[in-house]
Amino acid sequence: MSTHITPNNAAAAQIHESLEYVTSCALPTPWATFQLHAFIDHPSGKEHLALVLGDVNDGLPVLARIHSECLTGDALFSQRCDCGAQLEGSLQQIAAEGRGAVLYLRQEGRGIGLLNKIRAYHIQDSGADTVEANQQLGFADDLRHYGMCEPMLQYLGIKTLRLMTNNPRKMDALKKMGVPVVERIPLILNRNPFNTRYLDTKAAKLGHILPNEGLEHQDETE
Ligand SMILES: Nc1nc2c(ncn2[C@@H]2O[C@H](COP(=O)(O)OP(=O)(O)OP(=O)(O)O)[C@@H](O)[C@H]2O)c(=O)[nH]1
Ligand SMILES: [Zn+2]
């Protein structure tokens, strides 16, 4: 039985030991009408999403973004990070090509959750950087995993990725899972006075491939 989806035949199905495909619908956005596919992970109950445009199961590399949830940046317009601009920019680039996918993963706060991320922001308001704040709360700097991506991509029929990211750890994680990434496309957007220190810390401590703008560090909350 083919697992490829068309809007008319999508049916709930267990697609992996811990991941269930639930349903899909059309999602009109300012840039294109995507097909929104909903998955649920058990036992965490996390509801992961895929926004898909065009024919992605033709075997050719797919322009893709694997985006970790950031409620403050994605939905509340926060300028403390670059997430909202990256989400919007990736949807725009996919719309411009007419084909691609965004996996929207519910691993808020690099996996520590929304309330702990706000606790971390509170610590950062007193001068700690993003990694130090996680450590003060007793967390590793990045608790995310990408294990759900392989079954999600397989279900969507996506074989290889042209991935929009600045994060080599994400590329490595996908490669280790056997998801071929044939190209990395930088996604450098929305450097501003509120997130300059955050971006420079990501480059210095988390290995992100970002240009150092050489700007004077400013308090992220100023
Ligand atoms: N713990 C914590 N999480 C943060 C902070 N700022 C943003 N995040 C979370 O970081 C995640 C995004 O990770 P990033 O490191 O910005 O980017 P990435 O997805 O790893 O890499 P790119 O593909 O280049 O965007 C989202 O889940 C955000 O909620 C912070 O100060 N502390
Ligand atoms: Zn963010």
The CATH number given to whatever domain includes residue 45 is 3.40.50.10990
Q: What pLDDT sits at residue 9?
A: 56
In the prediction, which pLDDT does 128 show?
96
Asked if 55 contacts 49 with a C-beta cutoff of 8 angstroms, the reply is no
Residue segments in the chain with a per-residue pLDDT below the cut of 50: 1-2, 8, 214-222
Count how many domains the chain has.
Answer: 1
Residue labelled with tokens 């150092």:
212
Find tokens 């930088």 and name the residue: 186
**pLDDT for res 213:** 60
Residue 189 lies in a domain: yes
Distance between CA atoms of residues 118 and 114, nearest Å: 6
- 170 annotated as belonging to a binding site for a ligand: yes
Q: Which atom of ligand 1 is nearest to the CA of 112?
A: 1
Count of all residues that appear for the chain in the document? 222
For a mutational test of ligand 1's pocket, the pick from 48, 66, 70, i.e. the residue with the most ligand atoms closer than 8 A to its C-beta, is: 70
Residues 6+ apart with CB under 8 A from 53: 32, 34, 35, 94, 95, 98, 99, 100, 101
Domain that holds residue 85: 13-107+144-205
Give a yes or no: residue 37 inside a domain.
yes
Active site residue 197: no
Does 138 reside within a domain? Answer: no
38 and 22 Cβ atoms separated by less than 8 Å: yes
Give a yes or no: residue 213 inside a domain: no
Report d(CA 42, CA 152) in Å as an integer: 14
Distance CA 79, CA 220 (A): 9
Domain contains 50: yes
For residue 76, the ligand closest to its alpha carbon is 2
Residue type for position 65:
R
Q: 59: phi > 0 → left, psi -120 to 50 → alpha, else beta; which? A: left
Q: How far is the CA of 126 from the centre of ligand 2 (A)?
A: 19
Residue type, 204: A
45 within a domain of the structure (yes/no): yes
Per annotation, catalytic residue among 99, 144, 162, 184: 144
Residue located via tokens 């704040």? 133
Test site for ligand 1: of 63, 65, 67, 68, most ligand atoms within 8 A of the Cβ: 68
Decide: 50 and 10 in contact? Cβ < 8 Å: no
Mutate to test the pocket of ligand 1, among 77, 78, 81 (most ligand atoms within 8 A of CB): 81
Q: Which of 41, 74, 129, 142 is catalytic?
A: 142
Distance 207 CA to ligand 1 centre (A): 12
Residues having C-beta closer than 5 Å to ion ligand 2: 70, 73, 81, 83
SS3 130: helix
CA of 78 to the centre of ligand 2 (A): 7
Integer-rounded Cα radius of gyration of the chain: 18
Q: Collect all residues with Cβ–Cβ distance below 8 Å to 158 and sequence separation of at least 6.
A: 56, 57, 62, 64, 101
CA-based nearest residue to 146, from 178, 170, 110: 170
Asked whether 87 lines ligand 1 (CB < 6 A), one says no
Q: Residue 71 domain-assigned?
A: yes
Give domain status of residue 120, yes or no.
no
Cα 171 to the center of its chain, rounded Å: 12
